[in-house]
């Protein structure tokens, strides 16, 4: 299993632990963040882009599947209309890590953390991250009102992550 870190910088030779910018993850000590391949699509947009990412899991009801997902039940990454052009035009780099020394911090979100410095195994430039999102089997939804979608998804039986919502347009 490989782990990944997505960045708008392509020259990072070494990742040092940092204090998380938000207490949302309930981690208060310096760490290096990574995400598993299953959740990598959640990060194929600019760093500060607010987004709601959701997918079905074993607890998802048929009603929620029908309400929120296409027939193929692809994971969804939803962004605001106002962020679409930036998401379309911002190249990203995907850094790959070995699974050691990382530990799972949140299985639902695919988050892994390491308390020590980490050197990436590889780095790949992604010129068109939204195309990469599709390659990874995720559906991009561009919505006018991300906050309402976030509220609806968090009340559902879907597995979800609401990321950088502080940057979402107020309703």
**Interval 148-157: pLDDT, tens:** 999 999 999 9
CB burial class (10 A; 0-12, 13-18, 19+) of residue 65? middle
| Position 20 pLDDT exceeds 90 | no
**Distance separating alpha carbons of residues 114 and 31, to the nearest angstrom:** 5
Beta strands in 56-116 (DSSP E): 76-80, 92-97, 103-106, 111-114
pTM of the full structure: 0.92
8 Å CB contact between 119 and 29? no
Q: State which residues form the domain around 89.
A: 3-167
Stretch 135-161: mean pLDDT: 97
Residue 76, classed as helix, strand or coil, is strand
Structural domain count of the chain: 1
The tokens describing 54, both together, are 């959701």
């Amino acid at each position: 299993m490989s782990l990944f870190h997505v960045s708008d910088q392509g020259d990072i030779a070494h990742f040092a632990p940092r204090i998380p910018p938000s207490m949302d993850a309930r981690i208060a000590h310096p760490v290096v963040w990574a995400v598993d391949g299953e959740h990598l699509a959640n990060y194929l947009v600019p760093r500060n882009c607010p987004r709601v990412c959701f997918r079905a899991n074993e607890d998802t009801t048929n009603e929620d599947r029908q309400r929120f997902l296409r027939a193929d039940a692809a994971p969804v990454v939803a962004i605001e209309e106002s962020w679409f052009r930036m998401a379309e035009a911002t190249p990203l780099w995907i850094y790959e890590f070995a699974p050691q020394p990382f530990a799972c911090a949140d299985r639902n979100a695919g988050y892994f953390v390491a308390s020590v410095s980490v050197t990436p195994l590889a780095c790949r430039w992604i010129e068109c991250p939204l195309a990469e999102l599709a390659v990874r089997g995720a559906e991009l939804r561009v919505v006018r009102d991300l906050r309402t979608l976030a509220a609806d998804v968090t009340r559902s039986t879907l597995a979800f992550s609401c990321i950088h919502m502080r940057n979402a347009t107020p309703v």
